[in-house]
Amino acid sequence: MSGPDKPKVIGEEWSDERVKSFLAITPYDSRINADFNALIKAYQAMIAEDFERFVGFFVEAGRDLNAVDEHGDTILDVVSRHRRSTAYADILKKAGAKTTADAGT
């Protein structure tokens, strides 16, 4: 997190423990899917290389890569709408994530 009292850190290396800590993130609202919440928080906080490690730990833990948000979107649906996130979308696809449209076929 950056701000006036916390300078932005670029090039910081994340340990496996720090990456795995996102598995324990819980949503503030019980109506939000915990798996989707962990994925979106990791996507928002991590560079692609760390996100790839997180996805590996996430799948290894038996979590659902195709969990949906309150609008029925998967994490791949959300990431695919961001034109600068192709690396993240590729990571998710490689791990078996699907878009809502793909899941319906």
Residues 11-29: tens digit of each pLDDT = 678 999 999 999 999 999 8
Which comes out higher in pLDDT, residue 9 or 81? 81
Contact indicator for 19, 46 with CB cutoff of 8 Å: yes
Q: Does 1 fall in a domain?
A: no
pLDDT score, position 1: 46
Q: What range defines the domain where residue 74 resides?
A: 16-103
> What is the amino acid identity at position 18?
R
Q: Does 8 fall in a domain?
A: no
Structurally, how many domains does the chain consist of?
1
The structure tokens listed for 13 are 């290396």
List of residues 6+ apart from 103 with CB closer than 8 A? 66, 74
pLDDT score, position 12: 76
Q: Does 44 fall in a domain?
A: yes
